[in-house]
Amino acid sequence: MEANENKNSQESIVRSIMDDIREMESIDIEDRYGQTIHKIKANNRLSIASRWMKYAAILTLPLLLASTALGYLYYNVISQPTQYAEIKAAAGSVVQFELPDHSVVWLNSNSKLRYPTNFKGDKREVSLEGEGYFQVKADKKHPFYVNTPNNFKVYVYGTHFEVNAYKDNQTIETILEEGKVNVITPDNRKVEILPGEELTYDKKTAKMFKKNVDVYEQTGWVYGKLIFRDAPLEEVLSRLSRHFNVKMHFKNLSGHTYHFHATFTDETLPQILDYLSESANIKWTINSMQQNGDSSIGEKHAYITLYK
Alpha-carbon distance of 190 to 199, in angstroms, equals 12
Query: Do residue 116 and residue 166 come from a single domain?
Result: yes
Shared-domain flag, residues 206 and 230: no
Judgement on whether residues 65 and 88 belong to the same structural domain of the protein = no
Do 104 and 69 belong together in one domain? Answer: no
The pLDDT score that the predictor gives to residue 82 is 85
pLDDT per residue of the chain (308 residues) written in tens, 0 to 9: 444 555 555 556 546 555 554 555 555 555 554 565 565 455 555 555 555 455 454 555 555 555 555 555 555 555 568 899 999 999 889 999 999 999 999 999 999 999 999 998 899 999 999 999 999 999 999 999 999 988 999 999 999 999 999 998 999 999 999 999 999 999 999 999 999 999 999 999 999 999 999 999 999 999 999 999 999 999 999 999 988 989 999 999 998 999 999 999 999 999 999 999 999 999 999 987 665 555 455 678 999 999 98
The CATH number of the domain holding residue 278 is: 3.55.50.30
Same domain, 108 and 162: yes
Question: Are 95 and 211 within one domain?
Answer: yes
Domain final position from 78, 103, 121: 78
Domain interval for residue 93: 84-217
Residues 113 and 192 occupy one common structural domain: yes
Last residue of a domain, one of 12, 47, 78: 78
How many structural domains does the chain have?
Answer: 3
